[in-house]
Amino acid sequence: MKRKFNHIAVIPARKDSKSLPFKNRFLFKYTAEFLQNTKLFDKVYVNSDDLHLKDLAKKYGFIFFKRQKNLANDTTCIKKVFTDMKIKLKFSSNTFIWLFYIPIIYKDLNDFKKSIELVEKKKLKSICGFKEVDTHPLNTWYLKKNKPFQFVKNNICRRQDLPKAYSHHHYICGFNIKYLHQLNNELIFKHTFPILINKKTSKNLIEVDTRVELKKFKEISKNEKTKNKKFK
């Protein structure tokens, strides 16, 4: 069946990383192998200022898009990166962009199949993953001059009375390119469809920014074969 959208995967990867130097180089293979084997996406772009990743992109059959220096610092929001691509590549209005952050290594193929099916069926403008939070925002405090203050003032005494709270997660994140200008810096707006991330996936969602997190991910990988290796 012909799809309504051109589904484009984009891997953004800066050269510099303060927490784990050159992490995108040695973590790249996890996302690259997943995208190469899924066959879910029409094209894959690697957006980076690191020419080493240009060679890796070519190896996997991906398209390298060189990021400008002014967009390659740790204060640049991802929306500006995509805006630059939109202007220069002139994507068609039926282009649906999918974000793939390299530090988010774990991926379940079924989650992405389901997400694309939802986009196609409902003609979504935007989609993003959400997972239930461990600490409710109404139970959080900040300290000022050695005194505690609630972030959100409330007098709820029973945990059961708290409404369910969720945080967004870019494990799944996509949008129709023509709505990019309406998205906030986290690539979300009022028309974003929230797809809930199940507990099993949530448990495995380690963002690898330190060597400790990298070690933890490798331990999980040894104990449980992730579904992204079971392609049909």
Strand ranges for the chain from DSSP E:
6-13, 43-48, 63-66, 95-99, 126-132, 141-144, 147-150, 166-176, 192-196
171 is a domain residue? yes
Taking the C-alpha atoms of residue 72 and residue 53, their distance in angstroms, rounded to an integer, is 14
- The confidence score (pLDDT) of residue 191 equals 98
Taking the C-alpha atoms of residue 24 and residue 13, their distance in angstroms, rounded to an integer, is 6
Give the pLDDT band (50/70/90) at residue 134.
confident
- The confidence score (pLDDT) of residue 213 equals 83
140 is a domain residue? no
Residue type, 173: C
28 is a domain residue? yes
150 is a domain residue? no
- Spell out the residues 6+ positions from residue 227 whose beta carbon is closer than 8 angstroms to its own: 108, 109, 110
pLDDT digit string (tens) for 185-211?
999 999 999 999 998 899 888 888 887
**Whether 95 contacts 5, CB under 8 Å:** yes
148 is a domain residue? no
Total domains, the chain: 1
- With 50 as the cut, is the pLDDT of residue 14 above it? yes
Q: Taking the model in full, what pTM does it have?
A: 0.88
161 is a domain residue? no
- The confidence score (pLDDT) of residue 223 equals 63
pLDDT digit string (tens) for 146-198?
999 999 888 877 778 888 999 999 999 999 999 999 999 999 999 999 999 99
77 is a domain residue? yes
- With 70 as the cut, is the pLDDT of residue 226 above it? no
Question: H or E segment at 58?
Answer: helix 51-60
Q: Say how many residues make up the chain.
A: 232
- 3-state SS class at 194: strand
Write out the residue range of the structural domain in which residue 78 sits: 6-131+167-229
Give the pLDDT band (50/70/90) at residue 232.
very low
43 is a domain residue? yes
**Whether 43 contacts 78, CB under 8 Å:** no
pLDDT digit string (tens) for 19-68?
777 889 989 999 999 999 999 999 999 999 999 999 999 999 999 999 99
- 3-state SS class at 129: strand
**Whether 30 contacts 149, CB under 8 Å:** no
User: What is the CATH classification number for the domain harbouring 22?
Assistant: 3.90.550.10
Taking the C-alpha atoms of residue 143 and residue 196, their distance in angstroms, rounded to an integer, is 32
Residue 53 burial by Cβ neighbours in a 10 Å radius (0-12, 13-18, 19+): buried
